[in-house]
Amino acid sequence: MDDKKPEPGRRSLRALDALNVVLADVRDGLGPYLAIYLALKHWDASKIGMAMSAMGIASVIAQTPAGALIDRTRRKQAWMVAASAVTALGAIAMVRMPTLPVILGAQATIGVASAIFAPAIAAVSLGLVGHARMSRRTGRNEAFNHAGNVIAAVLAGLIGDHIAYEGIFYLLAAMCAASIVATLMIRRDEIDDDLARGGEAGDSDQDHDPRIVPILDLAKDRRILIFAASIVLFHFANAAMLPLVGQKMTAGKSDGVAGYMSACIIAAQLVMVPVAVASSRLADSWGRRPTFLVGFLVLPVRGLLYTLTDDPRWLVAIQLLDGIGAGIFGVVGVLVIADLTRGTGRFNWMQGALATATGIGASASQLLTGEIDLRFGFNAGFSALSAIAAVALVFFGLAMPETRPSDKVAHDGLADPIDLQLSPART
């Protein structure tokens, strides 16, 4: 651990585990389930694209301010509680009044709230464990997050197919309530706010502002600009794939549609759990860049494979590849940002700014694919996304340098393999 950072207590670490599980269904809102719900309500593909992009557009606007807020505030948990409450209210509003204005308004509100979660979780994690164990903690966070996605998808499939599809919206609200409880279980006095913003332990106290590097200085770092462009392309290619798969699988069907979508999500998430754990180790041993390249590589392959079949079973099998790409991205993306911002006090601001960039890519992906689908069909949409993914792969491979600190030994001298076991901690 960092020299000045005491080891956190078991209660806080276990609460952070639980928070990652229950936030799995909260951070991304209703996602493709909303697309299917609106299709069942006989919305056309263009309106569904508008509804799906509303959350992304709102997130784009909110992400950078949210990251800056998390850097500055000492009340990170309070902001997560507020964001969870807003998300729950939005989910209930959509199912109670499924009109275009309400859907768009609720999606936008949830998008603003969701901007809080990613930087807050990363900040709390870094503030609890410090830089030395951040790779391990990030892998653990993502593993529990993906496990939570599996649980949520199973529940959503059962509720949607055997009780009522609207029940999926109430499931999201229940997960929000659980996330509030888990958030409040983390001990505030164990979070080092200097570490949490990407500084060093003890950089400031309650009477002095921390050292924070000017934003324009960060903009001069060529690596940050290349990384931002790379992840925009990645999300442009990736964001619309799963909703498009859902629409392709359920076209002309009215029964079992929630089960199909849950199967896609579960397939990917089951792969993401071990991939997230392995990625945190490989990012230290191989390096960030080669590990990330694997994630970029599977995306164009996945998109092209979707064009080859209409069989739901094969479509679910192909979705396994998403587990590799997303599992790597969730871990290594955070580590690259931590590398690029260490000592700047801008860790969470940078997360927000890059999340804004990815949100632009994701929202554009939803809008573009909705129009292509409407005019030319599903396979044309998948082909377009695959082409963008190929561009992302080539650009990242040629332009992005390694960001791992040159003096870094695996886990800062910790040779034990990554797993889901915690080292003994004080209580």
For the stretch 237-287, pLDDT in tens is 888 788 788 777 766 665 656 667 677 777 787 888 889 888 888 888 888
98: helix, coil or strand? coil
Return per-residue pLDDT of the chain as tens, 427 residues: 454 556 778 898 999 999 999 887 677 667 777 877 887 777 777 778 788 778 878 877 888 898 888 888 888 999 999 999 999 999 899 888 888 889 999 989 998 998 899 889 988 998 888 877 788 888 888 888 888 877 887 888 788 878 888 888 898 899 999 999 999 999 888 888 888 887 665 555 444 455 677 777 777 888 888 998 998 899 888 887 887 887 777 666 656 566 676 777 777 878 888 898 888 888 888 888 999 999 999 999 998 998 888 887 888 888 888 889 888 988 888 889 888 888 777 888 888 888 787 777 777 777 777 778 777 777 888 888 899 999 999 999 999 999 887 654 434 433 333 343 333 333 3
Q: How far apart are CA 154 and CA 148, in angstroms?
A: 10
Q: What is the rounded CA–CA span in Å between residue 16 and residue 25?
A: 15
Q: Which tokens sit at 366?
A: 């939803």
Q: How far is CA 143 from CA 159, 232, 288, 317, 340, in A?
A: 24, 24, 18, 21, 23
Distance CA 95, CA 322 (A): 29
The pLDDT assigned to 410 comes to: 39
How far CA 335 is from CA of 135, 226, 288, 301, in Å, comes to 7, 16, 8, 25
Contact 248, 310 (CB under 8 A): yes
Q: Domain locations in the chain? A: 10-201+215-405
User: Which residue is listed with tokens 């009522």?
Assistant: 164
Q: Could you tell me if 29 and 106 are in contact, meaning their C-beta atoms sit under 8 angstroms apart?
A: no
Q: Which residues contact 398 (CB under 8 A, 6 or more apart)?
A: none
Check if the beta carbon of residue 192 is closer than 8 Å to that of residue 5.
yes
Using the structure block, give the residue that is written with the tokens 């396994």: 320
Chain position carrying tokens 């590589």: 297
Any residues with CB less than 8 A from the CB of 201 and at least 6 apart, and which? 2, 3, 4, 5, 130, 192, 194, 195
Question: Would you list the DSSP string of 183-242?
Answer: HHHS-GGG--HHHHTTS-TTS--TTSPPP---HHHHHT-HHHHHHHHHHHHHHHHHTTHH
DSSP one-letter code for 425 = -
Q: Which two tokens stand for residue 73?
A: 């505030």
For 234, phi and psi rounded to 5 degrees?
Answer: -60, -50
**Rounded Cα gap, residues 196 and 122, in angstroms:** 8
The two three-digit tokens of residue 154, written as one number:
């199973």
149-170 confidence digits (pLDDT tens): 778 878 887 888 788 888 888 9
Which one is the CATH code of 10-201+215-405: 1.20.1250.20, 1.20.1290.10, 1.10.40.30, 3.30.565.10?
A: 1.20.1250.20
- The Cα 136–Cα 159 span in angstroms is 35
Q: CA-to-CA distance for 277 and 332, rounded, in angstroms?
A: 11
Q: What is the pLDDT, as a whole number, of residue 36?
A: 77
